[in-house]
Amino acid sequence: MVSRVIPVNNFDLVIFGGTGDLARRKILPGLFRRFIAGQMPAESRIIGAARSDLDAAGYRKMIKDAIAEFGGPEKKDATSLKAFLAQLDYIAIDAKGDGGWRELAKLMRKNVVRAFYFSVGPSLFGDLAERLHKHKIADENSRIVVEKPFGRDLESAQALNATLAAHFSEKQIYRIDHYLGKETVQNLMAVRFGNVLFEPLWNNHYIDHIQITVAETVGVGGRGAYYDRSGAMRDMVQNHLMQLLCLTAMEPPSQFGADEVRDEKLKVIRALQPVEPHHIVRGQYDPDGDSPGYRDDVENPRSFTESFIAMRCEISNWRWAGVPFYLRTGKKLKERVSTIDVVFKDLGHSIFEGDTARHRNVLSIRLQPNEGMDLQVTIKEPGPGGMRLIDVPLDMTFAEALGDDVDQATDAYERLIMDVIRGNQTLFMRGDEVEAAWQWTDPLIEGWEARNDVPKHYEAGSAGPEDSLMLMHRDGRKWREIKG
Ligand code: BG6
């Protein structure tokens, strides 16, 4: 199979917060992989910008160490690493003052793509945007990249959007949701809109319900202060799960273009109904032996923040009326698994005498691990003795099906950064999309806060609180097992 990677133009990428955790863990190791893949033109430059008093040599050393710690097998390629590091530069900068900006302006080149990655807290977005303009570093062709959390409610998200809009047009703003950079998330669109097989069945005539699960085994230790102010709803549902839901539920866009795709996603969010309180289950993980519980991890013995949430959502439009979407996500669950399970309706009538079992087709799209899909189908159990039916998965694990061609190393971040350079916004969130997502989540959060809702306990290593099982049982349904 010939890979058709779209080349990128020469660029100057400035990473504000260039010495931070995200830059060292994800952005720079990812860019090094793109360099090795031949995607980073030789003239391109990555400029770290942060408060630390470093010079270019000091920064290169820092990034060399970061790649040694967080990079993949490619870090052994010393010749490439040396060449990559040579493309790095550094400016010590004061986001709130004038220090370093003139030097940065001098470094920037004409006639190359200029991109600015705001890998800093949102409180600095306005300062950076303003100074980029004041010092004429950004122009109308420049791009800025911002990270979640994009606000903590509608009001703060609107304020952030307004701050950015004061200096940049929407076409220049790339809001990252790294789930959109995941290979299989994009595959979801390929499966839906690249095959004749699924789309005719993709509606309330054939689908009983859809489950979206993002289960993690890690707890919140280490980032407790941030997490306790957010909880699973703000940290995962408002963005990642919402994106998965949108891509699963949206109407076919007229083409795979940035606004066409985002217009369709926005319509889904706007059609989401408010969720009834009894359709939401929140939980906190318990201590397990030596391993601390949620409240210990966040050092808040009275915390009511959820590390788990399950909910039953409804989309009120022609395609989905009557089809519940069950979402669930949590920390310290039994396995790290992200899946979308499309559960089709029962057969209306069985011609097989004595066959009383419920046979259902289920299309499971596995985002991680073992990226792939399987389709549960009913067949005859092999052997003599009459027509006995069994359900088996038609399994397509991409790594097996595509062999060496499957790109397992590419991280979501590096794909997305290359899209910034290419000027392709399809896999980035538009401002109105983010605001609509908060508009839907805000009343749910306000609701449980007003009710003083106390999260349920769940055992670390389990599938979440018992009540989340009940959420399904009440509807005569069952969660799919959390297994990798
Ligand atoms: C982040 C959340 O956005 O996504 C984390 O803040 C979460 O809490 C992470 O652990 C999950 O990402 P992934 O790619 O590991 O599924």
pLDDT band at 227 (very low <50, low <70, confident <90, very high): very high
Closest atom of ligand 1 to CA, residue 182:
14
Q: How far is the CA of 418 from the centre of ligand 1 (A)?
A: 21
pLDDT band at 301 (very low <50, low <70, confident <90, very high): very high
Closest atom of ligand 1 to CA, residue 223:
8
pLDDT tens profile 148-200:
889 999 999 999 999 999 999 999 999 999 999 988 888 899 989 999 999 99
The tokens for 76 are: 């052994």
- Pick from 178, 184, 416 the residue to mutate for probing ligand 1's pocket: most ligand atoms within 8 Å of its CB: 178
Residue with CA at minimum distance from ligand 1 atom 10:
216
**Whether the predicted pLDDT of 2 surpasses 60:** no
Letter string b/e over residues 184-216, b meaning 16 or more CB atoms within 10 A of that residue's CB: bbbbbbebbeeeeeeeeebebeebbbbbbbbbb
**Whether the predicted pLDDT of 251 surpasses 70:** yes
264-271: list long-range contacts, CB under 8 Å, 24+ apart: 265/433, 266/430, 266/432, 266/433, 266/436, 267/317, 268/315, 269/242, 269/433, 269/436, 269/437, 269/440, 270/436, 271/315, 271/316, 271/317, 271/320
Residue in 251, 265, 132, 137 with CA at minimum distance from that of residue 202? 251
pLDDT tens profile 72-101:
888 889 999 999 999 999 999 999 998 999
Neighbours of 362 (CB within 10 A): 17
**Whether the predicted pLDDT of 113 surpasses 70:** yes
- Rounded distance between C-alpha atoms, residue 307 and residue 286, angstroms: 10
**What burial class does residue 332 get, using C-beta atoms within 10 Å of its C-beta: 0-12 exposed, 13-18 middle, 19+ buried?**
buried
Which residues does residue 392 pair with via DSSP β-bridges, in sequence order?
Answer: 377
What's the order of all strands across the beta sheet hosting 11-16?
88-92, 45-50, 11-16, 113-118, 143-146, 173-175
Beta carbons of 240 and 179 less than 8 angstroms apart = yes
pLDDT tens profile 346-374:
988 888 877 777 788 999 999 888 888 88
Closest atom of ligand 1 to CA, residue 239:
3
Residue with CA at minimum distance from ligand 1 atom 6:
235
- Rounded distance between C-alpha atoms, residue 34 and residue 421, angstroms: 12
The tokens for 44 are: 């391109």
Mean pLDDT of 117-146: 93
Residue with CA at minimum distance from ligand 1 atom 8:
235
Q: How far is the CA of 354 from the centre of ligand 1 (A)?
A: 47
Looking at per-residue pLDDT, the higher value among 41 and 439 belongs to 439
Residue with CA at minimum distance from ligand 1 atom 13:
179
Closest atom of ligand 1 to CA, residue 179:
14
Give all strands (DSSP E) within 143-201, no chain letters.
143-146, 173-175
What is the structure's pLDDT at 383?
Answer: 85
**Whether the predicted pLDDT of 339 surpasses 50:** yes
pTM: 0.93
Beta carbons of 114 and 133 less than 8 angstroms apart = no
Tabulate helix, strand, coil % of the chain (nearest 5): 40, 20, 40
pLDDT band at 255 (very low <50, low <70, confident <90, very high): very high
**What burial class does residue 69 get, using C-beta atoms within 10 Å of its C-beta: 0-12 exposed, 13-18 middle, 19+ buried?**
exposed
Q: Tell me, what DSSP letter sits at residue 53? A: -
Q: Which range has the worst mean pLDDT, 126-130, 338-342, 400-404, 477-481?
A: 400-404
- Pick from 179, 328, 339 the residue to mutate for probing ligand 1's pocket: most ligand atoms within 8 Å of its CB: 179
**Whether the predicted pLDDT of 1 surpasses 90:** no
Residue 298 region by backbone torsions, left for phi larger than 0, else alpha for psi between -120 and 50, else beta:
alpha
What is the structure's pLDDT at 446?
Answer: 97
Q: How far is the CA of 178 from the centre of ligand 1 (A)?
A: 8
Neighbours of 320 (CB within 10 A): 22
Q: Who lines ligand 1 at CB under 6 A?
A: 216, 235
Highest mean pLDDT among 2-16, 409-423, 451-465: 451-465
- Pick from 235, 237, 298 the residue to mutate for probing ligand 1's pocket: most ligand atoms within 8 Å of its CB: 235
Q: Tell me, what DSSP letter sits at residue 238? A: I
What's the chain's average pLDDT?
A: 92
Q: How far is the CA of 294 from the centre of ligand 1 (A)?
A: 17
pLDDT band at 4 (very low <50, low <70, confident <90, very high): low
Q: How far is the CA of 309 from the centre of ligand 1 (A)?
A: 15
Residue with CA at minimum distance from ligand 1 atom 5:
235
What is the structure's pLDDT at 145?
Answer: 97
Q: How far is the CA of 66 from the centre of ligand 1 (A)?
A: 20
Residue with CA at minimum distance from ligand 1 atom 2:
235
pLDDT band at 430 (very low <50, low <70, confident <90, very high): very high
Q: How far is the CA of 378 from the centre of ligand 1 (A)?
A: 35
Task: Catalogue the active-site residues.
Answer: 240
3-state SS assignment for residue 320: coil
φ, ψ for residue 118 (rounded to 5)?
-90, 80
- Pick from 212, 236, 238, 298 the residue to mutate for probing ligand 1's pocket: most ligand atoms within 8 Å of its CB: 236
- Rounded distance between C-alpha atoms, residue 319 and residue 33, angstroms: 41
